[in-house]
Structure 1
Amino acid sequence: MAAPLLANLSESLGSPEPAVRLMLSILIGYPCALVYRKYLFYQTATVINLFHAISGLALAAFNFGPQIYHSAVCVLVQFLMMRLMGRTITTVLSSFTFQMVYLLAGYYYTATEEYDIKWTMPHCVLTLKLVGLSFDYYDGGKEPSQLSAEQKKAALPSVPSLLEVCGFSYFYGGFLVGPQFTLRSYQKLVAGELTDSPGKPPNSVTPAMKRFALGFLCLTIYTIFSPYYPDSYFLTDEYEAQPFWYRCVFVLIWAKVILYKYVSCWVIAEGVCILSGLGYNGVVDGEHRWDACANMKVWVFETAPLFGGTISSFNINTNAWVARHVFKRLKFLGNKTLSHVTTLLFLTVWHGLHSGYLLCFSMEFFIITVERQALALVKDSPLLTKLANSPLYPLIYLVQQFFHWLFMGYPLVPFCLFTFDKWLKVYTSIYFCGHVFFLVAYLAMPHLRKALVPKKERSEIKQD
């Protein structure tokens, strides 16, 4: 009975059935959170963990059928590693190796040349969650003086139970599309500590509904405009026949539209976390905050004129996970650039095995490098600083935003088209303009610095 209904719904919406199942599953998180608030908030940890595990498994089965055994195997193996190996670096390395190899094997055996919603999609979220769990368990055995403030908050004082790990792994608010959160945060949720009213369910209905409404708006925008800006259009003769400026503008608008697919899922899922209480983030300046699970800062994402601002407002919890467990733990390399490159390589592999991911993240690194040099130039040059603070700035902002979004969409082309033959065709049609632009900017930066930064300031900067 359900299958024909879903088929009819997906046909009427013009969306693939797996996408409809995914969105329905994210939305089902809201009634799950309401059930938890009304009937389970005062129950024992065993009952709450059981509810979270069973509801999450049910959603996984609804989307992926018998393939849920992949996640079950990885959760069980992770639990056994912690129990049998203890708080050792061997546990961390074994967890990292097993979970990543399992994920990459899944990518290898299920890969196609299209974006498919299959079991590997939530599994990449689960992989980070389980690897992070091994790090936090390992940190729990260290002296507090050896840990950073972040590590102290996440460190586990004792080994969790299998039911606790299952509830954490399958929690309906984060299993399918994220966000990332620690087991310590989840334990506080189960203990009823994540609330603005001690001893009572949190007053989070209004902030949760605000995120839902924003996410639904983003979903509506994507649903309306995505048919007009499909990925497949890049590969048509019609696209190639368009003027150069049109091809570039299409990349810009396409990127804006395609990103709403991710934004809508993350913001709606965040609303589920807020409704349950997991999104509670304490009191700041006398106000209760509900942004602990925020994966998007939508306003910053839309208005930031810099690549760094857009990246920092997008997929926030995943970026924070990578910063905490990869970038900062590479401190022993003694080189921030090398740590940054290694972190981006990890992100590349974690996303998948297609060449498009490698090109996307390498381009991101290059863009950020050039942007940082440009910002330093503006700061050090009296002329550019004066211009940036002049009445002409609104015009500069508009021009800057155009190039910002054009070249923000540029790396997304290989990210979404995946394979070498596809993204090469598109990049050739727009003459590799992004690569050319940033390469020229990179090569020109030292000469611009000589021309625009007075010699005295240059010598002072070198001394610093």
Structure 2
Amino acid sequence: MASETIVQSQGGGGLIANLAELSGAPEPALRLLLSILFGYPIAALHQLCVRKLEPLLQHIFFATCGFALCYFNYGTDSYHSVIAIWVTYLLVRLLHHAPQQLLIINFLFHMSYLIIGYIFTESNDYDIIWTMPHCVLVLRLIGFGFDISDGQKPREQLSNDQKETALSYIPSLIELTAYTFFPAAFLVGPQFPFRRYQRFIGGEFHEHDGAVNAGLKRGGVGLLYLIVRQLGATLLPDSYLMTEAFRNQSMLTKLFQVGIWGKIALYKFISCWLLVEGALMCTGFTYAGKTSDGKSDWSGCSNIKLILLETGSKMAHYVQSFNVNTNSWVAQYIYKRLKFLNNRMISYVAALAFLAVWHGFHSGYYIAFAMEYAIITFEKQCETIYAKDVIPKYGDILNNSKACKVISFVLLKIYNIMFMGWCLIPFILLSYDRYMYVYSTLGYYGFVMLASWLIVYNGYKFSRKSNKTDKTSSNEPEKKQN
């Protein structure tokens, strides 16, 4: 329903609609892809002409290009983004001398607006409508409010991260608009602080070379992932998991297929982020210093750590390598801001809860993040046992045997594939009836394994505690005798 509405608001016909029909892709998805690709000619135009102009004209250029892309995708629904920017600017002007009130009101406004948007528009599928870029915009403007608030505090009260992003002056409305609507990046991310945009406009990154080459390479990798994603989705579409053909496969085959399906599902996000990163690199926006060999590093806005993602052996590796900038944003503006609670567990759960609400109201998001928390906890517990009980006894064999290393790598990759696909089932399928149907087809193996582990781990802790008590009791007479 929501997708139909946006198509109608854009006229429902014309060149884009015909291209969508020919390619077999939904029109909103095609518009999104084209908007991301438009980032490259915009980057070229800026490199060739616009960056030589005064800052005001650059702000106008980026604000105009960004809003045009927004309107191209979402038509008159673009007013939601404009309202968000104007309200943020008004709040900053009125409340910058009251930092605490500013960040609270700004946070509540944007999250409330987004949640109400979800209530009125959310369907059973991923909706490429105005709420999709709006959730990116919400983080950007909430972070902006925090940065303004931090800028009004004494420097000695700020953490090192806050000192890097704090804003001591109030940007103009056109600056805020350009920052928020920065072409390509406002649609699907990545997140970056206003200070990076400020440094970029000021020409701080222009003297470094290699941006265009780095951007084109990153964009090329993005196209490769997009091709793999499209081919994979043709062979293993989401709907396949709910067919009798899938249900009738052997358990081992189903586990393997779910793992491959999960990879393909991730590539939908990864390809978009890589293409956006390429456009940002071509602009010269992503400078991150010098590498060890003295070359310019253009990974300053990288949202994916590809090598870690593809070679990782545990769920924690996926968290560390996937949607990196959003995770960093949540760490800086949510997790670390809850330090006053003096409880890392509560802060971590609160950060995951925020991420789930930020994504929407589909129960699949909450199950997926709960599973992430459970599996990462399981991994940490396994690592603790391994370090305390396995390495002291068998460390020489495990560390020096090539056969043990190969077996360990294979087993970890099997585990990695099995549980990555398992965790993505609710995140991709979203609605309860769909993901629970697939879970039932798989015999609820993930829940069974985690529940079994909970029993084993608590038994292990009880055993270690009992052994310590017995050793203490047996040593007491010796102490008295001595």
Normalised by the size of structure 2, how large is the TM-score?
Answer: 0.90
Question: Are the structure 2 counterparts of residues 388 and 177 from structure 1 closer, same or farther at C-alpha, using a change threshold of 3 Å?
Answer: farther
CA contact (8 A) 1:196 1:288 kept: no
Q: What is aligned with 1:7?
A: 17
Q: What is aligned with 1:367?
A: 375
* Sequence identity percentage: 38
Q: What is aligned with 1:212?
A: 219
| Consecutive unaligned residues in structure 2, runs of 5 or more | 1-10, 473-482
The more displaced of 56-65 and 84-93 is: 84-93
CA contact (8 A) 2:35 2:184 kept: no
Q: 1:237 aligns with which of 233, 237, 244?
A: 244
- What is the DSSP-based 3-state SS (H/G/I as helix, E as strand, rest coil) of the residue aligned with 1:175? helix
Q: Does residue 337 in structure 1 map to residue 348 in structure 2?
A: no
Q: What is aligned with 1:56?
A: 66
Question: Are the structure 2 counterparts of residues 242 and 66 from structure 1 closer, same or farther at C-alpha, using a change threshold of 3 Å?
Answer: same
Deviations 1:440-460 (A, max 9, x none): 22321354578899978x999
Q: Does residue 411 in structure 1 map to residue 423 in structure 2?
A: yes
Shift of 1:388: 4.1
CA contact (8 A) 1:378 1:385 kept: no
CA contact (8 A) 2:216 2:278 kept: yes
Q: Distance in 2 between matches of 1:17 and 1:49?
A: 30
Code of the residue aligned with 2:415 in structure 1: it is F
Q: 2:83 aligns with which of 73, 86, 101?
A: 73
Code of the residue aligned with 1:355 in structure 2: it is S
CA contact (8 A) 1:29 1:272 kept: yes
Code of the residue aligned with 2:364 in structure 1: it is G
How many equivalent residue pairs? 455
Code of the residue aligned with 1:42 in structure 2: it is K
Q: 1:101 aligns with which of 112, 119, 124?
A: 112
Normalised by the size of structure 1, how large is the TM-score?
Answer: 0.94
Q: What is aligned with 1:264?
A: 271
Q: What is aligned with 2:297?
A: 289
Structure with bigger gyration radius? 2
CA contact (8 A) 2:314 2:415 kept: no
Q: What is aligned with 1:163?
A: 174
Q: Does residue 355 in structure 1 map to residue 363 in structure 2?
A: yes
Shift of 1:245: 2.3
Q: 2:320 aligns with which of 312, 323, 340?
A: 312
Q: What is aligned with 1:123?
A: 134
- Superposed CA RMSD in Å reads 2.2
Code of the residue aligned with 2:214 in structure 1: it is P
Q: What is aligned with 1:430?
A: 442
- What is the DSSP-based 3-state SS (H/G/I as helix, E as strand, rest coil) of the residue aligned with 2:310? helix
Question: Are the structure 2 counterparts of residues 162 and 301 from structure 1 closer, same or farther at C-alpha, using a change threshold of 3 Å?
Answer: same
Shift of 1:69: 0.3
The more displaced of 375-384 and 287-296 is: 375-384
Shift of 1:298: 0.8
Q: Which runs of 4+ in 1 moved over 4 A?
A: 446-456
Q: 1:22 aligns with which of 11, 16, 32?
A: 32
Q: Distance in 2 between matches of 1:13 and 1:424?
A: 32
Q: What is aligned with 2:158?
A: 147
Shift of 1:250: 1.9
Q: Does residue 38 in structure 1 map to residue 45 in structure 2?
A: no
The more displaced of 29-38 and 440-449 is: 440-449
Code of the residue aligned with 2:51 in structure 1: it is F
Q: Distance in 2 between matches of 1:459 and 1:36?
A: 72
Q: Distance in 2 between matches of 1:283 and 1:441?
A: 45
Q: What is aligned with 2:332?
A: 324
Q: Does residue 279 in structure 1 map to residue 289 in structure 2?
A: no
Q: Distance in 2 between matches of 1:194 and 1:155?
A: 20
CA contact (8 A) 1:7 1:17 kept: yes
| Consecutive unaligned residues in structure 1, runs of 5 or more | none
Q: Distance in 2 between matches of 1:203 and 1:371?
A: 40
Q: Distance in 2 between matches of 1:268 and 1:321?
A: 21
Q: Distance in 2 between matches of 1:352 and 1:432?
A: 25
